[in-house]
Structure 1
Amino acid sequence: MRRVGTVVRTAGGLAIARGERGEEPPRIGSSVVDESLSTVGRVVDVFGPVDRPYVAVTPNDGDGLAPLVGGKLYAR
């Protein structure tokens, strides 16, 4: 597994995670899990600065976005 980053906010039905410095961003379409290894969703976009990009994740369950803010996400 690879670290995606920390969820900094939700916007437009997506969870937006800030990538970790020095980590390669995940590929679009990668499955994303939370710290308890529960599947959260899939990566739909990677954008922003190259050294620490943002990662947009579309959730499997749109109602469960708010608890993700502040949590770490990982790509399988």
Structure 2
Amino acid sequence: MKRLGTVLHALGNATLVILGDDKGPKGDKPRMNSFVMDKTVKRIGKVTSYFGPVENPYYIVKLDSRGNTLEARRYLNERLYVQ
């Protein structure tokens, strides 16, 4: 399990915007459709895209369940991980 980053924004369509961690090897970035987990190792979604600077990118994560904005907001300021 590797650190993905910290959740910055929760969008209304069960989507999270994550600021990627700059820890770890530079070429060790998660691939598209990688599973994303919370601190309890529960699978919560997948990486759907990324953008921004190469050194510290932002990731877009689509939650698995068809949750609402309140469910997505639950993860604000939490660190998420990738499998």
- Structure 1 runs of 4+ with >4 Å offset: none
What is the alpha-carbon root mean square deviation over aligned residues? 1.3
Q: TM-score, normalization: structure 1?
A: 0.90
Q: Which residue of 2 aligns with 1:20?
A: 21
> Number of residue pairs matched?
76
Gap runs ≥5 in structure 1: none
Query: Residues 1-76 of structure 1: matches in 2 within 5 Å?
Result: 1-11=1-11, 13=13, 14-23=15-24, 24-61=28-65, 62-63=67-68, 64-76=71-83
Gap runs ≥5 in structure 2: none
Farther off after superposition, 42-51 or 11-20 = 11-20
**Structure label with greater radius of gyration:** 2
Identity %: 32
Superposed displacement of residue 10, structure 1: 1.5
Q: TM-score, normalization: structure 2?
A: 0.83
Superposed displacement of residue 16, structure 1: 0.6
